[in-house]
Amino acid sequence: MLVMKRKTNQRVRIGDDIWITIVEVCGRNEVRLGVSAPPEIHVLREELIDERVPQRDGLASDAGR
């Protein structure tokens, strides 16, 4: 894992077309990020991925019936 310091309005580039922008630093425990990516790249928060996995498994098992 790469760990770096950034300030408000500074950006990090991932690959050729994904940009992460530090929108706001709120105290010591919270950072607001902006993500710019092509529409074909899905950007989800981790907790949303965890919620979607069981649903996806349920759909896959129903499709085989």
pLDDT in tens, the chain (65 residues): 999 999 999 999 999 999 999 999 998 899 999 999 999 999 999 888 876 655 545 554 444 43
**Residue 50 lies inside a defined structural domain of this protein:** yes
Tally the domains of the chain: 1
Whether 51 maps to a domain, the answer reads yes
Q: Is 9 left (phi over 0), alpha (psi -120 to 50) or beta?
A: left
* Residue 17, domain extent: 11-63
Residue type, 30: E
pTM for the model stands at 0.69
Give the residue from 7, 5, 43, 37 showing the smallest Cα distance to 22.
7
Instruction: Look at residue 6 and tell me if it is in a domain.
Output: no
Residue 20 within a domain: yes
Residue 4 falls inside a structural domain: no
Rounded to an integer, what distance in angstroms lies between the CA atom of residue 2 and that of residue 36? 19
Q: Is position 3 within any domain?
A: no
